[in-house]
Amino acid sequence: MSKAIAMQTSACYNVKKYYGRILPFALKRKRRYLIDMFFTFVYDYIFILQIAAVSLSLLIVFYPFQKTFRSIAFAAAQFAALFALGTVLNWGLFELSSVWTFLGGINFHISWLLVIIIYLLFNRVYIMSRMIMGAVLYTSVIAVTDLGRLVMNVLPVGTDWSFVNILFYLLIIGFSLLIRRYTLTRYSDIPVFSVAMIMLGAICSSSLIIGKTILNVKIGGISQDTFFIFTLAVIYILIVSSYMIIYFHCKGRKEVIELQVKNKLLEADKQMLAVSEQAISEMRQIKHDIKNQLKVIELMLEQKQYGALGRYFSSMNESFLKESGSSFIDCGNEFINSVINMEILKANNYGIQLVTRINVPSELPFEKSDLCRILVNLLDNAIEGVLRADSKDYLVDCKIARQAGFLYVSVQNHIRDDYDRDRLLEMNTEKEDADNHGFGHRIVKRIVEKYNGIVKYKVEDNEFIAEMMLDFTSMEVK
């Protein structure tokens, strides 16, 4: 028995030793075979054009082309990187398909998905815009490429129909040009429902296309499925239509918002005009009063009533300070002047003093409608917070300045002693229109994200502080 066991052990050792020597060589030959097979049979000029088309379409949609040598050179470098990444991923997934057979036929679908995800992770476009444009671009690419292969399969045999694929690749580039022309990058208030519907449609369409491709591979190649050709065409049309519907919906929303902002600014200009007319009238009255006051001062000097003269000057000074307590700002930026002066008038109507410290350039690289909505939301909330504090003696402190490449905005107001700090920081509200109030905070957050900024709320002692920063270079990136 022991001799038999020894012989069996020796045989197992010899087999293991043999395969230990031959297996690496076999694997190396298999890998070399797969590489040769990929670059000989798969990686032909049609496949190269396919990778080039999708790489170019990604740049067209997201890259901010400028007419400078640096911009063009950087675009060329990105194109080369995307092309190389697409090639490597397709080759790697092709090799993996020899082990994971379910990858057979869908290596392009997965590699393109990975390429677009990697590219968008390093892109600075607003996240909602990225999600929608990336989803529709990916779905359209796999739909069009599969559509091209199916159309070629139903054409008569004996003729080189390779140019048909090229026509479909041009369709990919055409759709990317359409997305660039009607880009969503300039819109920050994209409805969440629209994003959810696009993502759901993209997932369902992609799953259908990939599932059908896997099925075709299992049955031995691309089947002549006319119905699926029609399905892919419908998917492409629905993708284009859905994207355009979302674009025009966002455009309409923005036009309404800009109209509201213009109305606010017109209202502010009217109020400032009324204040100016009132100021002119007051200046005439002051001019008249000064004449009388000079006569009184002259009389006191003649009578040497120096004590009474001192008291008279003190009363004049107190009266001047009281009348000038609601002065308006002139920071050198006409747009900021209009918005802040409108809020100063609003605060004055409630007996609240709005103190400002503003140091900004005459021109800012942000959309005026976005700036207006941010400032009006933050300042209105601060004024309402002071009113809820049951006292009109408190101030609203507003600071706006440029700091290290960012526009910094800070608005501070007093809150009640018994107010729930945690609830306040969660952006809950006691206003009757609580939904709209909460929506205002969501608007601020979306606009801040659009400009790669941050917004933070905190409570120190009995002061609520809202701080916000917008990146000055964000508009250059877009």
Mean pLDDT for the stretch of residues 408-430: 69
Q: What is the pLDDT of residue 137?
A: 92
pLDDT tens figures, 429-461: 444 444 334 446 777 888 888 888 888 888 887
**Type of residue found at 449:** E
Domains with residue ranges and CATH for the chain: 2-256 (no CATH), 326-478 (3.30.565.10)
Mean pLDDT for the stretch of residues 424-428: 56
Look at 167 and 36; give whichever has higher pLDDT: 167
Q: What is the pLDDT of residue 231?
A: 87
Number of other CB atoms surrounding residue 264 within 10 Å: 17
- Mean residue pLDDT across the chain: 76
Q: What is the pLDDT of residue 272?
A: 60
278 pLDDT band, cuts 50/70/90, is low
State both tokens at 335: 């747009």
The Cα 223–Cα 229 span in angstroms is 11
- In the chain, the percentage of residues whose pLDDT exceeds 70 is 71
The residue written with tokens 């995800």 in the block is: 117
pLDDT value at 478 more than 80: no
DSSP letters, 247-308, are HHHHHHHHHHHHHHHHHHHHHHHHHHHHHHHHHHHHHHHHHHHHHHHHHHHHHHHHTT-HHH
pLDDT value at 300 more than 50: yes
The Cα 122–Cα 78 span in angstroms is 12
Number of other CB atoms surrounding residue 292 within 10 Å: 9
pLDDT value at 77 more than 90: yes
Phi first, then psi: give them for residue 469, nearest 5 degrees.
-135, 135
pLDDT tens figures, 218-253: 766 555 567 888 888 899 999 999 999 999 988 888
Least confident of 132-136, 156-160, 177-181, 359-363: 156-160
Q: What is the pLDDT of residue 401?
A: 92
Q: What is the pLDDT of residue 323?
A: 52
Number of other CB atoms surrounding residue 352 within 10 Å: 20
pLDDT value at 308 more than 80: no
pLDDT value at 18 more than 50: no
Record the pTM: 0.62
pLDDT value at 32 more than 90: no
State both tokens at 115: 């390429």
pLDDT tens figures, 335-355: 888 888 888 888 887 888 888
Helices (H), 303-363: 306-323, 334-349
pLDDT value at 81 more than 90: yes
pLDDT value at 49 more than 60: yes
pLDDT value at 177 more than 90: yes
179 pLDDT band, cuts 50/70/90, is very high
Contact assessment for residue 324 and residue 344, using Cβ atoms and an 8 Å cutoff: no
Number of other CB atoms surrounding residue 431 within 10 Å: 14
Look at 463 and 305; give whichever has higher pLDDT: 463
Q: What is the pLDDT of residue 437?
A: 42
Look at 439 and 105; give whichever has higher pLDDT: 105
Number of other CB atoms surrounding residue 24 within 10 Å: 10
pLDDT value at 409 more than 90: yes
pLDDT value at 52 more than 50: yes
